[in-house]
Structure 1
Amino acid sequence: MELRSRALYCSFCAVAVLLCSSLVFAGDIVHQDDVAPKRPGCDNNFVLVKVPIWVDGEEITEFVGVGARFGLTLESKEKRANQIRVSLADPPDCCSVPKNKLTGEAILVHRGKCSFITKANVAEAAGASALLIINNQTELFKMVCEANETDVIVGIPVVMLPKDAGKSLKLSMSNSSNVSIQMYSPHRPLVDVAEVFLWLMAVGTILCASYWSAWSAREASIEQDKLLKDGSDEYLSKETHHSSGVVDINILSAICFIMIASCFLLMLYKFMSHLFIEILVVLFCIGGVEGLQTCLVALLSCFRWFEPAAECHVKVPFLGAVSYLTLAVSPLCISFAVLWAVYRGVSFAWIGQDILGIALIITVLQIIRVPNLKVGTVLLGCAFMYDIFWVFVSKWFFHKSVMIVVARGDGSGEDGIPMLLKIPRMFDPWGGYSIIGFGDIILPGLLVAFSLRYDWLCKKSLKAGYFLWAMLAYGLGLLVTYVALNLMDGHGQPALLYIVPFTLGTLITLGKTRGDLKHLWIRGEPDGRFCPHVRLHSDEKQPSKM
Structure 2
Amino acid sequence: MFCEYFFRFFCFIIIAPLFGGFSVLVFAKDNYDSSYVFLIVTKQNSVKSQRYCVNFQQWRTTYIDSSPQGIGKKHLKLGWLGKVNSTKICQRSPFFTCDDNTVVPLDYRLSEEDKSCLPFIHNRTNTMKTLVQYKVNQLMNVGATAGIFLVEKGSNYSGRWPDYLFSEFYDPDVDQSITMPIFFMYKHAFNEILKEFGDGVSSKPVYFTFYRPKSLSWDLSMLIIWLLAVFCVGIGGYWAGHRKNCEEKLGLESRFASSLISAEAQKKLEHDDDKATAPANCLFVVIAMIIVVGILMLGFYFRHVMVYIFNVILSIVGTFSMHRCLSSAYNYFCRCNQCKVCISASDISQAIFKRDLLSNYECCCGRPRESSVLLFIFSAGFCILWFFSRRNPYAFILLDFINVTLCLHVLKWIRFPNLKWLTVLLLCMFVYDMFMVFGTPYLTKSGCSVMIEVAAGTDCMKSNTGYPVAPVSGDIPEKFPMLFQVPRLSDPMLSCIDLEIEKEYRPVILGLGDVIVPGYLISFCFTVDFSAKTRHLYGVVSVVGYSFGLIATFFALTAMESAQPALIYLIPFTLLPIIALSLIRKEFKLLWNGCFTKSEVSDY
8 Å contact from structure 1 (residues 50, 65) kept in 2: no
Q: Equivalents in 2 of 1:84, 1:402: separation in Å?
A: 49
5 Å-filtered alignment, 1:154-303, equals 155-157=179-181, 184-224=211-251, 227-229=261-263, 234=268, 250-273=281-304, 276-302=306-332, 303=334
Q: Equivalents in 2 of 1:76, 1:248: separation in Å?
A: 62
Moved more, 349-358 or 275-284: 275-284
Q: Which of 497, 500, 514 is residue 568 of structure 2 equivalent to?
A: 497
| Cross-structure match for 1:450 | 524
| Cα gap change, 1:186 to 1:265, in 2 (>3 Å) | farther
Does residue 479 of structure 2 align to residue 416 of structure 1?
A: yes
Shift of residue 296 of structure 1?
2.0
Q: Equivalents in 1 of 2:148, 2:20: separation in Å?
A: 37
Does residue 541 of structure 2 align to residue 469 of structure 1?
A: yes
TM-score, normalising length: structure 2: 0.65
Q: Secondary structure at the match of 1:214?
A: helix
Does residue 434 of structure 2 align to residue 435 of structure 1?
A: no
| Cα gap change, 1:217 to 1:345, in 2 (>3 Å) | same
8 Å contact from structure 2 (residues 23, 509) kept in 1: yes
TM-score, normalising length: structure 1: 0.71
Q: Secondary structure at the match of 1:434?
A: strand
Shift of residue 208 of structure 1?
0.9
| Cα gap change, 1:353 to 1:297, in 2 (>3 Å) | same
Shift of residue 424 of structure 1?
2.7
How big is each residue's C-alpha offset from its partner over 1:473-520, in whole Å with a ceiling of 9 and x where there is no partner? 11111112222223344x332221211111111122222333222222
| Cα gap change, 1:312 to 1:341, in 2 (>3 Å) | same
How big is each residue's C-alpha offset from its partner over 1:118-147, in whole Å with a ceiling of 9 and x where there is no partner? 999997567454589999999969999xxx
Q: Equivalents in 2 of 1:307, 1:65: separation in Å?
A: 65
8 Å contact from structure 1 (residues 473, 506) kept in 2: yes
| Cα gap change, 1:312 to 1:208, in 2 (>3 Å) | farther
Q: Equivalents in 2 of 1:335, 1:263: separation in Å?
A: 32
8 Å contact from structure 2 (residues 57, 181) kept in 1: no
8 Å contact from structure 1 (residues 206, 445) kept in 2: yes
Shift of residue 333 of structure 1?
0.7
Q: Equivalents in 2 of 1:111, 1:2: separation in Å?
A: 65
8 Å contact from structure 1 (residues 525, 531) kept in 2: no
Q: Equivalents in 1 of 2:600, 2:416: separation in Å?
A: 18
Does residue 592 of structure 2 align to residue 532 of structure 1?
A: no
Question: Partner amino acid for 2:480?
Answer: I
Q: Equivalents in 2 of 1:29, 1:415: separation in Å?
A: 19
Does residue 387 of structure 2 align to residue 338 of structure 1?
A: no
8 Å contact from structure 2 (residues 241, 530) kept in 1: yes
Q: Secondary structure at the match of 1:497?
A: helix
Q: Equivalents in 2 of 1:12, 1:328: separation in Å?
A: 25
Does residue 511 of structure 2 align to residue 511 of structure 1?
A: no
8 Å contact from structure 1 (residues 25, 485) kept in 2: yes
8 Å contact from structure 2 (residues 298, 306) kept in 1: no
How big is each residue's C-alpha offset from its partner over 1:13-65, in whole Å with a ceiling of 9 and x where there is no partner? 56224463433333x33216xxxxxxxxxxxx4653215799xx999975576
Q: Equivalents in 2 of 1:247, 1:111: separation in Å?
A: 68
8 Å contact from structure 1 (residues 74, 157) kept in 2: no
| Cα gap change, 1:471 to 1:10, in 2 (>3 Å) | closer
5 Å-filtered alignment, 1:400-411, equals 400-410=448-458
Shift of residue 423 of structure 1?
2.4
Q: How many pairs align?
A: 487
| Cα gap change, 1:123 to 1:204, in 2 (>3 Å) | same
| Cα gap change, 1:194 to 1:140, in 2 (>3 Å) | closer
Larger-Rg structure:
2
| Cα gap change, 1:13 to 1:440, in 2 (>3 Å) | closer
Question: Partner amino acid for 2:317?
Answer: G
8 Å contact from structure 1 (residues 214, 452) kept in 2: yes
Q: Secondary structure at the match of 1:492?
A: coil
Q: Equivalents in 1 of 2:321, 2:414: separation in Å?
A: 13
| Cα gap change, 1:430 to 1:385, in 2 (>3 Å) | farther
| Cα gap change, 1:47 to 1:514, in 2 (>3 Å) | same
Q: Secondary structure at the match of 2:28?
A: coil
Q: Equivalents in 2 of 1:327, 1:248: separation in Å?
A: 39
Q: Equivalents in 2 of 1:285, 1:259: separation in Å?
A: 25
Q: Secondary structure at the match of 2:251?
A: helix
CA RMSD, Structure 1 to Structure 2 (Å): 5.1
| Cross-structure match for 1:382 | 428
Q: Secondary structure at the match of 1:452?
A: helix
Q: Equivalents in 1 of 2:325, 2:556: separation in Å?
A: 34
Question: Partner amino acid for 1:438?
Answer: L
| Cα gap change, 1:6 to 1:468, in 2 (>3 Å) | closer
| Cα gap change, 1:140 to 1:262, in 2 (>3 Å) | farther
| Cross-structure match for 2:553 | 481
How big is each residue's C-alpha offset from its partner over 1:196-254, in whole Å with a ceiling of 9 and x where there is no partner? 22212211111111111001111222233862358789569979999xxx999723323
Q: Equivalents in 1 of 2:80, 2:453: separation in Å?
A: 35
Q: Equivalents in 2 of 1:47, 1:86: separation in Å?
A: 31
How big is each residue's C-alpha offset from its partner over 1:227-285, in whole Å with a ceiling of 9 and x where there is no partner? 2358789569979999xxx9997233234334433332333233333x54333222111
How big is each residue's C-alpha offset from its partner over 1:406-429, in whole Å with a ceiling of 9 and x where there is no partner? 333348625632211222332322
Q: Equivalents in 2 of 1:247, 1:299: separation in Å?
A: 34
Q: Equivalents in 2 of 1:236, 1:512: separation in Å?
A: 25
Shift of residue 446 of structure 1?
0.7
Q: Which of 26, 36, 40 is residue 50 of structure 1 equivalent to?
A: 36
8 Å contact from structure 1 (residues 11, 286) kept in 2: no
| Cα gap change, 1:378 to 1:314, in 2 (>3 Å) | farther
| Cα gap change, 1:525 to 1:212, in 2 (>3 Å) | farther
8 Å contact from structure 1 (residues 373, 520) kept in 2: yes
| Cross-structure match for 2:503 | none
Q: Equivalents in 1 of 2:13, 2:80: separation in Å?
A: 53
| Cα gap change, 1:143 to 1:515, in 2 (>3 Å) | farther
Structure 1 gaps of 5+ residues are 33-44, 91-98, 145-150, 537-546
Q: Secondary structure at the match of 1:48?
A: coil
Q: Equivalents in 1 of 2:588, 2:302: separation in Å?
A: 45
Does residue 29 of structure 2 align to residue 31 of structure 1?
A: yes
